[in-house]
Structure 1
Amino acid sequence: MTTPRMHDGQLEIDVALVRRLLAAQFPRWAGLPLRPVRSAGTVNAIYRLGDELSVRLPLVPGWAGDLERELEWLPRLGGAGADRLPLAIPEPVAAGEPGEGYPMRWAVYRWLDGATPRPGALDDPGAAARLAGFVRALRDLDPVGAPHGKGYHTLTDDDETARRAIAALAGTVDPVAATAVWTDALAADTWDGEQVWVHGDLLHVNLLVRDGGLTAVLDFGSAGAGDGAFDLLPAWSLFTGAARRAFRAELGADDAAWARGRGYALLKGLTGLPYYRETNPRFAVLARSLIDATTA
C-alpha cells in the first residue's frame, strides 16, 4: 500500500521502502511486523513497527523540517520522564538517514497506545480542563532558544491569505460571517510579542484517549515559541458550550486573546478546506468544522 497523494512533489512511500530502510540502517528491527497507519495526517507517512514502535517519514521535502524539529525538541520538552507535561508526548528512539531512494531523514518513535477521539468525544468540561492543564504546562516551559512556532507572526501578515480564501469559498462559506470573525481578530491583534511554547495544532486527530480519558498529545512539528492564543484552537476544534467556557476559564484568556485564537482557528479552516477537499476528505471535514464553529 502506497500513501495516498495529497501534495505536489509527494514521495512514493510504501511498506517495501520502509523495510529496505530498516534493513539497511536498523537491522535489529527489520524483522518486526510492519503495517501502515491510516490517519487524517498530512505531513508524514506513519507505519506501526511491531508492538512498541512506529516509523514516520515526511511526505514532501518542504516539510522535512517538522520531523527535524521533533527530533531536537521532543526529548527536551519531555524532560527526564513525563513529569514536565501532564500528558504523554511522542518519544523518538532513532533517527534514520536518507537512503534506498528516499532523500530525507526519517525516524523511529515509541508507539503510544490509545485511539484518536471521535469528533465530540471530548466535549465536556473535565476533558477541557485536562487539555488546558497541558497547554499551561507547555507555556510554563522556558521558550529561550525555541524555534518560531505558530502565532509567531501577526495575524495582519495573513490578512491577504484569509480574505482571498473567504472570497474563493463564497457559496461554501458565509463570507459575511467569516469576514466579521476575521475583522474582529485583526482588531484584537495587540499581542505584545511575549512568547511562550505553543503546540500549534491541537486538533482531535493529534490527541489520544484510553478508556475515555485524554492521555497523549501528538505531532509537535509546528511547536515552538509564539502567541499563546494559537493554542486556544481546541475551543473551536474540540469544545462547545460548557466545555468551551471551561477551557477558556482554565487558561484565563482575555477578550483579545480569545478573538485572536478564533481568528487563527478560522484561518486554519479556510486554508485547509480547499487544499484537502479532494485529496484528504477526512481533513477537509475537520477544516469545514473549524469554519462552522468559528463563524457560528
Structure 2
Amino acid sequence: MVHPLPEIEVTEDLARTLLREQHPDLADLPLTWAGTGWDNALWRVGDGLAARFPVREVGAALVVHEQRWLPVLAPRLPVDVPTPVRVGVPSSTYPWAWSVVPWFDAVAAHHTPVASRTAWATRLAEVFVALHRPAPDDAPVNPYRGVPIAPREQPLRERLERRELPDADRILERWRELAAAPGWDGPALWLHGDPHPANLLVHDAGLRAVIDFGDVTSGDPASDLSTAWLTFDADGRAAFRDRLRHDEATWRRAQAWALHMAVVLQMHPVDHPTLAEIGRHGVAQALSD
C-alpha cells in the first residue's frame, strides 16, 4: 500500500468559495489551515468552528457517516464529539459532501505525556460504556473494524515483511496467541472505529472530546478497546479495563487488534511520523503484557 495522495487540494480560496456558496454567514470569518490527513483537509473558521473537506473520494463516504450518525450518538456520550453544525453538499466547485464542525480548544492526546493520560483513562472507558450499545441493522459497514481478528493474519504478515520491524517474529507469534481467543458472540455494538490518541483531545488534564468518527461502524468492541495499548501505559490500561469489565477473551482480541493496528500505524513513518510513534508505543505496550 502506498501513501494515498490527495485527489483534490482544498486551498483557502476553495474553502472560502464553498462557504460563500452554501453558508455565506461564515464566509468572511478568518480561515486558518489546521492540517490535511489521509482523507480530509481541516480549515479553522473563526474561533469556534472548523470546516472539514474530504480530499479523496473514499473520505467523502466517511463524512456522510458522521453527518448521518453523530447527531444520533452524541447525546449518549459523556464528552464532546464533532457533530456537524452545518452540512455542505456537492457543487460545481467541489464534488463531495463536507461539514462545518465545532472547534475544540484542546490538544491531541499523543502530544501529552503517556503517564498523564491515566488521569482520564476511566473517562474514556465511560465513553465506550455509553457508545458500545447494540447498533441498528443500517449502521455503517466497515470491513476493517469490528470484524473477527483472526483473518487479519495475512495482511499483518505482509506489513511486517514490508516494514522489516525489529520485533516482527515476536509480534506475529504473540498476535497468533491472542487472536486464537474465542470470538465475539454478542450483538453488533456501535463502535468509534479509530480511537487512537490522535483522535482523543485533552484539555486541563482531562478528556475534552473524541473526534474523527468517520470509521464509525458496528460489531465486536475489541477493535475499539485496542486503544488501551495504543494510548496508555500499564497504570492507565488497568484503570481503563477496570471500568469496562469485559471478559478475558474480549481483552485478548483487543490486544491482538492493538498489535495489528500498531503495525499499520508504522507503515508510513516519513509521511505520518505521529502515527508511527503511536504505533511504536502500541507495539511496546502490547508485547509487555
Give the alignment's TM-score, normalised by structure 2. Answer: 0.90
8 Å contact kept, 2:115–2:233: no
- Match of 1:288? 280
2:160 is matched with 166
- Partner residue in 1 for 2:8: 11
CA drift of 1:180 comes to: 1.8
1:1-296 map, 5 Å: 6-38=3-35, 41-79=37-75, 84-99=76-91, 101-117=93-109, 118-121=111-114, 123-140=116-133, 142-149=135-142, 151-170=145-164, 172-192=165-185, 194-274=187-267, 276-296=268-288
Measure, in 2, the Cα distance between the counterparts of 1:281 and 1:295. Answer: 21
Aligned residues: 285
- Alpha-carbon distance, 1:122 to partner: 6.0
Q: Would the aligned equivalents of 1:17 and 1:100 in 2 still touch at CA under 8 Å?
A: no
Q: What residue identity is the alignment partner of 2:252?
A: A
| Superposition deviation, residue 239 in structure 1 | 1.1
Q: Secondary structure at the match of 1:140?
A: coil
Q: Return the letter of the residue paired with 2:195.
A: L
**Which has the higher mean CA deviation after the structures are superposed, 201-210 or 128-137?**
201-210
SS in 2 for 1:225: strand
Tell me how far 1:241 sits from its aligned partner. Answer: 1.8
Cα deviations by residue, 1:53-73 (Å, 9 ceiling, x for unpaired) = 110011211221110000000
Deviates more, 1:95-104 or 1:47-56: 95-104
Shift of 1:189: 4.5
Contact 1:122–1:128 (8 Å) recurs in 2: no
Percent identity, aligned pairs only, is: 33
Give 2:240's aligned amino acid. F
Give secondary structure in 1 for the equivalent of 2:107.
coil
RMSD of equivalent CA atoms: 2.1
Give distance in 2, aligned partners of 1:133 and 1:249.
11
SS of the residue aligned with 2:218? strand
Measure, in 1, the Cα distance between the counterparts of 2:134 and 2:150. 27
Residue type of the alignment partner of 2:41? A
Q: CA deviation at 1:244?
A: 0.9
CA distance 1:203–1:65, change in 2 (3 Å): same
Equivalent pair of 2:200/2:210 in contact (CA under 8 Å): yes
Measured against aligned partners, the alpha-carbon deviations of 1:153-202 in whole angstroms (never above 9, x if no partner) come to 211332210111122232x2312210122102321142225211111211
Look up the equivalent residue of 1:195 and give its one-letter code. Answer: A
Cα distance change of structure 1 residues 193 and 63 upon mapping to structure 2, 3 Å threshold: farther
The runs of 5 or more residues in structure 2 that have no matched partner are none
Q: CA 1:166–1:6 in structure 2 vs 1: closer, same or farther (change >3 Å)?
A: closer
Contact 1:123 1:240 in 2 (8 A): no
- Distance in 2, matches of 1:116 and 1:8, equals 24
- TM-score using structure 1 length: 0.88
SS of corresponding position for 1:182: helix
* 5+ long unaligned stretches in structure 1: none
